[in-house]
């Protein structure tokens, strides 16, 4: 059984880094909606403790 290896996860360490990741995702996956990008950015910010 073959498994595709996923690239390593990138966890942003600041709000700016989260926004940069979101904009990169927009370029890589144009079908992602603005709401989905927002949700990703909020989730990342929560994970790193920037927001509650």
Q: What is the pLDDT of residues 9-23, one digit of tens each?
A: 778 888 888 888 877
Alpha-helix runs per DSSP H in 1-52: 15-28, 34-48
Report if residue 5 sits inside a domain: no
Report if residue 2 sits inside a domain: no
How far is 37 from 34, CA to CA, in rounded Å? 5
pLDDT at 29: 63
Residues 21-49, mean pLDDT to the nearest whole number: 80
pLDDT at 3: 62
The total of structural domains in the chain comes to 1
Report if residue 36 sits inside a domain: yes
Task: Using the predicted structure, report yes or no on whether residue 28 has a pLDDT greater than 50.
Answer: yes
How far is 52 from 50, CA to CA, in rounded Å? 7
Report if residue 3 sits inside a domain: no
Report if residue 33 sits inside a domain: yes
Residue 41's domain spans which residues? 15-48
Report if residue 4 sits inside a domain: no
Average pLDDT over the chain reads 78
């Amino acid at each position: 059984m073959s498994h595709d290896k996923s690239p390593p996860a990138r966890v942003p360490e600041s709000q700016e880094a989260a926004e940069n990741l979101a904009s990169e995702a927009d370029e890589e996956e144009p079908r992602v909606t603005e709401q989905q990008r927002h949700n990703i950015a909020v989730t990342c910010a929560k994970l790193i403790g920037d927001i509650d």
